[in-house]
């Protein structure tokens, strides 16, 4: 039987990406053109700049993905594309490009939810992984605990009520002068610090919810830095990075393990940019092992934004017959499980 080949396109934020994925699990190419250098100058993503850069890059990124995979457009079975959530102008670039291809080639178009894509990165990394499992999605824009009940079937168990985990990393990194994107830099610096040096708050809701809040810990770090500055004391940046990171990891770990208990699930997959954090990987794996729960994570290149994960998600929609119409629009606030 021949393989199903998906050409996938991702442009929801600041990476222009295209990939060719076979049968939802095998990556034939995964091309990512990052705009990080440009946005670093502004300390974060500038939406208007992102859209323009996507337009400049998309054609060559797609061509490169096909070339590296060694397949022609005629051999592709379907075109998968992220249509939300994300920056509307950025999403529209990838979506219009994908629609143009699908229309001119007369191939099916599959609309993909970016968050579902992050979750599906685990299907690429772990060839035998099947639902049910619990997924912790931690990225620059999102923080979710999801009960993945079946392929394409998701129940949101907890989410952030304010900042996303990656956003908190980025803001704290900026406050201690590490630059953008802050996650990898805090990850590195924290290795030299003491995670118990400063006791930053762990948000705790008293209503049985598994939601998160990261704006409190972020403000606590800013207040601490301010206080040290006012009193003329020197800040140990590595201790701040390690203590902040510990506060974030503690709540992520606690809530995801509680979800496994409530849903009677013994497998956790993590996804999104923050899933490449070395301390989160280690500590979650250790804490889960004590409860005989297994933790899976994708390779770092599949954690941060990429199109291979979109190709995987598109495949599972394609085999269910979920084909989009040509009037598919970008949905900047698309919810998980919503079509």
Binding site feature residues for substrate? 137-141, 170, 183, 187, 277
In angstroms, what is the minimal distance from the CB of 130 to Zn ion? 23
Q: Is 6 in the site for ligand KG4 (CB under 6 A)?
A: no
Residue 211 touches ligand KG4, criterion: CB under 6 A: no
Q: Does 141 bind ligand KG4 (CB under 6 A)?
A: yes
CA 175/CA 288 separation, integer angstroms: 32
Structural tokens at position 191 = 């290795």
- Residue ranges in contact with Zn ion by CB under 5 A: 139, 305
Q: Least CB distance from residue 154 to ligand KG4, whole Å?
A: 16
- Our finding on whether 22 is near ligand KG4 (CB under 6 A) is no
Mark the binding-site residues, compressed into ranges: 114, 118, 137-141, 170, 183, 187, 277, 305
| Angstrom distance (rounded) from CA 153 to CA 108 | 22
Q: Binder to ligand KG4 among 24, 131, 166, 193 (CB under 6 A)? A: 166
| Two tokens, residue 301 | 């290149």
CB of 272 to Zn ion, least distance (A): 6
User: In the complex, what is the shortest distance from the CB of residue 248 to ligand KG4, in angstroms, rounded to a whole number?
Assistant: 9
What is the token pair recorded at 136?
């912790």
Block residue for tokens 């219009």: 96
Q: 146: which 2 tokens?
A: 């999801």
Q: Which helix (H) or strand (E) holds 237?
A: helix 237-263
The reply to whether 13 sits near ligand KG4 by the rule CB under 6 A is yes
Query: Minimum distance from CB of 307 to ligand KG4 (Å)?
Result: 12
What sign results for the dihedral spanned by CA atoms 133, 134, 138, 139? positive
Letters for 170-209 (x = contact with ligand KG4 by CB under 6 A, - = none) are x----------xxxx--x----------------------
227, two tokens: 């206080």
CB–CB of 302/309 below 8 Å? yes
List beta partners, residue 80.
8, 110
Q: Is residue 114 a contact partner of residue 97, using CB atoms and an 8 Å limit?
A: no
Check residue 274 for interaction with ligand KG4 (CB under 6 A): yes
Residue ranges with strand state E in 163-235: none
Residues 289-318 that bind ligand KG4 (CB under 6 A): 304-305
Nearest distance from C-beta of residue 16 to ligand KG4, angstroms: 13
* Spatial separation of the C-alpha atoms in residues 38 and 43, rounded to whole Å: 9
Is 276 a binding residue for ligand KG4 by CB under 6 A? The answer is yes
Nearer to Zn ion, 94 or 108 (CB): 94
**Residue 156, CB-side half-sphere exposure with 13 Å CA sphere:** 15
Partners of 146 in beta bridges? 135, 156
Binding partner of residue 276 among ligand KG4, Zn ion, none, CB under 5 to 8 Å per kind?
ligand KG4
Contact residues toward ligand KG4 (CB under 6 A) are 13, 139-141, 166, 169-170, 181-184, 187, 272-274, 276-277, 304-305
């Amino acid at each position: 039987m021949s393989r199903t080949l998906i050409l996938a396109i991702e442009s929801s934020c600041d990476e222009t990406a295209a990939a060719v994925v076979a049968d939802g699990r095998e990556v034939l190419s995964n091309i990512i053109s990052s705009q990080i250098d440009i946005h670093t100058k502004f300390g974060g993503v500038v939406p208007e700049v992102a859209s323009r850069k996507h337009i400049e890059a998309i054609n060559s990124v797609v061509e490169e993905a096909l070339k590296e995979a060694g397949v022609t457009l005629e051999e592709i079975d379907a075109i998968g594309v992220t249509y939300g959530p994300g920056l509307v102008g950025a999403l529209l670039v990838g979506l219009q490009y994908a629609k143009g291809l699908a229309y001119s080639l007369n191939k099916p178009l599959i609309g993909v939810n970016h968050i579902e894509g992050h979750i599906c990165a685990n299907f690429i990394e772990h060839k035998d992984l099947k639902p049910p499992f619990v997924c912790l999605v931690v990225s620059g824009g999102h923080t979710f605990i999801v009960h993945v009940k079946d392929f394409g079937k998701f129940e949101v168990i907890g989410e952030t009520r304010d900042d996303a985990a990656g956003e908190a990393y980025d803001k704290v990194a900026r406050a201690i002068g590490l630059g953008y994107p802050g996650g990898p830099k805090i990850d590195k610096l924290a290795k030299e610090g003491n995670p118990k040096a400063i006791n930053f708050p762990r948000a705790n809701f008293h209503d049985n919810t598994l939601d998160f809040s990261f704006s409190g810990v972020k403000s606590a770090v800013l207040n601490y830095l301010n206080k040290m500055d006012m009193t003329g004391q020197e800040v140990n940046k590595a201790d701040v990075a390690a203590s902040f990171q510990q506060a974030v990891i503690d709540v992520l770990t606690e809530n995801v393990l509680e979800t496994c208990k409530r849903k009677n699930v013994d497998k956790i997959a993590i996804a999104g940019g923050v899933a490449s954090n070395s301390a989160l990987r280690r500590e979650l794996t250790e804490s889960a092992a004590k409860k005989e729960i297994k933790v899976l994570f994708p390779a770092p290149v599949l954690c941060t934004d990429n199109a291979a994960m979109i190709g995987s998600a598109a495949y599972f929609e394609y085999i269910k017959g979920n084909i989009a119409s040509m009037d598919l629009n970008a949905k900047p606030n698309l919810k998980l499980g919503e079509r």
